[in-house]
Each structure stands twice: as structure tokens, then as C-alpha cells.
């Protein structure tokens, strides 16, 4: 299918008890309809960051993203449109009437679904209703772009991010901050540490250097390396991030999934430079969903 001409993103903004949450619908006077908060992406904007921006602009609420709720594709006057959605828990803020939305309505799922009727967004709300559990995230990051190692004369562990990688790291930092990362670890490789620098600065998170997760050490003892990351997860009640090298990621992700139980992430574990693999954990710390995110908009 050809790429859509219009890219947009939004989410199911929810609050309260995950067992019986309230969700937010917005009224758009331009169309005189009710919908989930969503909107067009800015040029080169990451879809998840765009979803969070649109939610805040339309509802006044800041939010923490959870699992992906898929996409809708349909025709609009400008052409083909794709809207990507996430479950997003409200974390603060206050609604004010704005240029696009004149009313917000918080309602139980059944009432909100009924109000949407046959609208496209009703399908997304039904996906959310199938699993409303609160989640926290383990975000596995492949280091951002660091040039061609064949052109680097020094020790490969000292190879820095290039200009593209530095730009990717800013987006990665914003994504990890959005997930609410509280603890972070990195392979003992400069490009991995630099990839997490924006997170460290923005969220004041100390990035722990984990030599056992560096590729050579991980090859020698994969279980020891993976358990080092598992220790970050089990010692935190919030989101956790780790950044490392391509060859480590599939084995590390598979080990975490085996120990924590749930969805096997290996099918999605081949990441491009700066890519993220997000393991969503339920309140029992089992992997309930897995998604792959690029560092740049796609």
C-alpha cells in the first residue's frame, strides 16, 4: 500500500482505576463531533511525541504512554491518512478551551464508546477496552548513529556519535523522558553512553555503566549480562532503559522475556541505529505487549 499523504497521531487518554477507567473525548466545533484527541504530525516529528503533544494541546493533560493501540487508515480530502494511537495515562494538567476543542468529556468506557458511535475512533477505544491494565516500560535502545567503524582509527569502544546520532539522541531522550524512565544503564561503549546523555540531562537520571552488557563481555556470559539489566527492572517500580549494541539486543530481550514471562520480543528485536524496543510490563511485571519504535519519524 502506498505511503499515506497525511500522518497523524493521538491516543486514548485515561485516568482513575485501570479496572474501570474514565477516558477523555474532545468536542471539535469545526466538525461538531466527538473524538479521541489526535492531530497531524509536524514535519519529521516522531509519532509518539506527536501523539503526546496533540493530547496536551487538545485536553490540557500531560500523559505517560503505554501500549500501542494500532493505526487507522482512511481517506480525507488531502488524500490517504494514517493515525497512530497509544494508551496514555493522564498525569496532570487542566483543560482550557482552545482553537480546536471547546469541550472535554470524561466518561466510562461504555458511555464513551456509545458517544463515538460509528466514528473511526470507536475501533481504537474497543482495542483499549480489551486490556486496560496499567503498564510500565522496559526500553531497550540500540545506540544512535556513530558513523562507519571502518573509518574510525581508534578503539571501537571510543567511537562517538556523529551528527545524525546526536540528533537521534535528542529524540531518544524525549521518548525515554515521556515513558518516565527512572533508572538507566548502558554498555561500556562511548556511543551507547552518549545516546543516553539527553535523558540524563533532561530527567536527571544517572546512567549506570554496565560492563557485563558490552558485546564482548555479554558473549562470554550472556546470563550475567542479562541479569544485570533485570536487576535494574526489579529494583525499580518505574520505567527502565538500557542502551547497547545491535548484537546483544535480541538475546538480552529474549532473556528478559523468559524471566518475566509473557510476549516473546525476538521478532521485533532487530533494531536500526537509534531504534527502541519497548517491553510493556503489567502490574505483575509480566511482558504484556512489545513494540518497536524508530529514533526518527517514519
pLDDT reported for residue 298: 58
Cα dist. 155→149, 159, 197, 290 in Å?
10, 7, 21, 34
Number of H helices, E strands in the chain: 9, 13
* Cα(189)–Cα(204) distance, integer angstroms: 21
Asked which of 150-159, 160-169, 259-268, 283-292 is least confident by mean pLDDT, the reply is 259-268
* Cα dihedral 218/219/221/224 (nearest 10): 20
CA 67 vs. chain centroid, Å, equals 8
Identify the CATH homologous superfamily for domain 6-129: Nucleoside Triphosphate Pyrophosphohydrolase (3.90.79.10)
pLDDT reported for residue 1: 56
State the pLDDT confidence band at 295, using cuts at 50, 70 and 90.
confident
pLDDT digits (tens, 9 = 90+) for 53-102: 999 999 999 999 999 999 999 998 889 999 999 999 999 999 999 999 99
3.40.50.300, 3.30.9.10, 3.40.50.1240, 3.50.30.30: CATH of 136-293: 3.40.50.1240
Cell numbers standing for residue 77? 480530502
pLDDT digits (tens, 9 = 90+) for 111-163: 999 999 988 999 999 999 999 999 999 999 999 999 998 889 899 999 999 99
pLDDT digits (tens, 9 = 90+) for 225-258: 999 999 999 999 999 999 999 999 999 999 999 9
| CATH code 3.40.50.1240 region(s) in the chain | 136-293
Go through the chain and tell me how many residues it has: 298
**Per DSSP, what are the bridge partners of residue 209?**
186
| CATH code 3.90.79.10 region(s) in the chain | 6-129
pLDDT reported for residue 228: 98
Stated pTM of the model: 0.95
Sequence-distant (≥ 6) Cβ neighbours of residue 101 within 8 angstroms: 26, 27, 28, 37, 58, 59
Amino acid at each position: 500500500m502506498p505511503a499515506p499523504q497525511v500522518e497523524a497521531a493521538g491516543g486514548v487518554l485515561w485516568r482513575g482505576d485501570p479496572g474501570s477507567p474514565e477516558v477523555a473525548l474532545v468536542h471539535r466545533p469545526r466538525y461538531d463531533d466527538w473524538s479521541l484527541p489526535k492531530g497531524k504530525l509536524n514535519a519529521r516529528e516522531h509519532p509518539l511525541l506527536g501523539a503526546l503533544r496533540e493530547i496536551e494541546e487538545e485536553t490540557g493533560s500531560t500523559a505517560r504512554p503505554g501500549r500501542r493501540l494500532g493505526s487507522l487508515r482512511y481517506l480525507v480530502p488531502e488524500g490517504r491518512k494514517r493515525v497512530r494511537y497509544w494508551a496514555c495515562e493522564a498525569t496532570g494538567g487542566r483543560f482550557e478551551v482552545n482553537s480546536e476543542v471547546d469541550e472535554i468529556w470524561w466518561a466510562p468506557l461504555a458511555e464513551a464508546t456509545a458517544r463515538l458511535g460509528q466514528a473511526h475512533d470507536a475501533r481504537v477505544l474497543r482495542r483499549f477496552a480489551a486490556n486496560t491494565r496499567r503498564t510500565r516500560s522496559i526500553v531497550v535502545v540500540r545506540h544512535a548513529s556513530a558513523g562507519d567503524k571502518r573509518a574510525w582509527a581508534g578503539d571501537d569502544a571510543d567511537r562517538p556519535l556523529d551528527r545524525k546520532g546526536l540528533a537521534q539522541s535528542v529524540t531518544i531522550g524525549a521518548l525515554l523522558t515521556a515513558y518516565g524512565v527512572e533508572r538507566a544503564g548502558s554498555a561500556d561503549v562511548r556511543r551507547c553512553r552518549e545516546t543516553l546523555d539527553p535523558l540524563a540531562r533532561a530527567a536527571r537520571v544517572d546512567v549506570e555503566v554496565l560492563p557485563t552488557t558490552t558485546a564482548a563481555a555479554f558473549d562470554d556470559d550472556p546470563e550475567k549480562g542479562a541479569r544485570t539489566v533485570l536487576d535494574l527492572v526489579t529494583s525499580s517500580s518505574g520505567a527502565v532503559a538500557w542502551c547497547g549494541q545491535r548484537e546483544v539486543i535480541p538475546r538480552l530481550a529474549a532473556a528478559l522475556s523468559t524471566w518475566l514471562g509473557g510476549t516473546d520480543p525476538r521478532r521485533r528485536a532487530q533494531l536500526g541505529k537509534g531504534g527502541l524496543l519497548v517491553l510493556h510490563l503489567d502490574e505483575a511485571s509480566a511482558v504484556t505487549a512489545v513494540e518497536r519504535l524508530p529514533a526518527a519519524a517514519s
